[in-house]
Amino acid sequence: MSKEHPASRTPKTSLNIPPETLRAMYVTMLRIRKFEEKVAELVYPLKEIFCPCHLYIGQEAVATGVCSNLKKEDWVFSTHRSHGHYIAKGGDIKALMAELYGRQTGCSRGRGGSMHLASPEWGLPGSSAIVAGTIPLAVGTALAFSMQSKDSVSVAFFGDGAAGEGVFYESLNFASLKKLPVIFVCENNLYSTHLPISACLADVQIWKKAEAFDMPGIRVDGNDVVKVFQSAKKAVELSRLGKGPTLIECMTYRWRGHVGPNDDLDKGLRSKEELDYWMSKCPIRAFEEFILARGIISDSERIKIIKSIDKEIEDSVTFAKNSPYPDEHDYIKYVFKT
């Protein structure tokens, strides 16, 4: 069983966060979780969604805590595990569900599926299944923001496996050299595809790699949305002040397999004991106990929130099923010639 890291504890911190922000973060985390659970059901056993889906269950606090500090004009770049980032940044759930069904009303017009979501109107210009592929795009965007004197920041979300790619280090170097307004957020869920991160990296303390590039680096409890929020808040403020980038390593754990709704226990990469341990440290349950104990929400409000989100998810499925597929004559639409 993996040793306990900070993500195993209920949030304990002195707060300087408005109650409405805490409530909003709770709603966002629940929306992500319930959307993902519905997708897992639609992929198997219902078999209504056929595109590969990399689920975000267990990591909801990271996207929520970071994106709660961002404006609509800030840009976020995502990965193959993109649903949580899309929802946390404000993306429309109906359009997301329709995309997974491959429908024309999807956020990528039914052409991207789960791994290539886009919502440019909300500051998510695109996602990519290429490991570390969007990191330099986030840096390039931050360079554009800087050249245009915009008060916007760029965020690159990536997994721990991306720390094994050369472009990660090139991006850190250039961002620090030019003092660009970009935040690097590593979601370390302890596994790179089907390998423990210790089998991939000689030094698994990814946050320390920032030191070589003269930028702040921090490792934070990625299952504590309050701590993620506070760390991201400081990083965003520094970037907006022209102080350059920050690398935040968020320690977390994915409950489902690398891809699909199963748990990957049959692949021998982790034990049931380990999975049960981390599921018992649910970030949503911990935060729910936190805000209930402090009177941020009441139990009756919690029940209303859950019912509202359940209806929203069901409505998104109905919307997706009733939406048309892309027209066969439009196959090459949105494709650029070179």
State mean pLDDT over 5-11.
41
Does a structural domain hold residue 7? Answer: no
Does a structural domain hold residue 272? Answer: yes
Q: With pLDDT > 90 as the criterion, what percentage of the chain qualifies?
A: 79
Whether the per-residue pLDDT at 9 is higher than 80: the answer is no
Lowest-pLDDT choice from 175-184, 229-238, 256-265: 256-265
The structure tokens 């931050």 sit at 142
Does a structural domain hold residue 105? Answer: yes
Whether the per-residue pLDDT at 8 is higher than 70: the answer is no
pLDDT at 7: 41
Q: Write out pLDDT tens, residues 62-92.
A: 999 999 999 999 999 999 999 999 999 999 9
CA angle 247, 249, 253 (to 5 degrees): 155
For residue 14, name the pLDDT band (cuts at 50, 70, 90): very low
Does a structural domain hold residue 326? Answer: no
Q: Write out pLDDT tens, residues 268-280.
A: 888 899 899 889 9
State mean pLDDT over 284-304.
96
Q: Write out pLDDT tens, residues 189-208.
A: 988 887 888 888 889 999 99
Average pLDDT, the chain: 92
State mean pLDDT over 10-31.
83
Whether the per-residue pLDDT at 244 is higher than 80: the answer is yes
For residue 329, name the pLDDT band (cuts at 50, 70, 90): confident
Lowest-pLDDT choice from 6-10, 93-97, 120-124, 169-173: 6-10
Does a structural domain hold residue 5? Answer: no
For residue 294, name the pLDDT band (cuts at 50, 70, 90): very high
State mean pLDDT over 215-244.
97
Whether the per-residue pLDDT at 246 is higher than 70: the answer is yes
CATH number at residue 30: 3.40.50.970
Does a structural domain hold residue 100? Answer: yes
Whether the per-residue pLDDT at 166 is higher than 70: the answer is yes
Does a structural domain hold residue 1? Answer: no
Q: Which domain holds residue 200?
A: 15-318
Does a structural domain hold residue 328? Answer: no
State mean pLDDT over 88-114.
96
Domains contained in the chain, number: 1
pLDDT at 286: 96
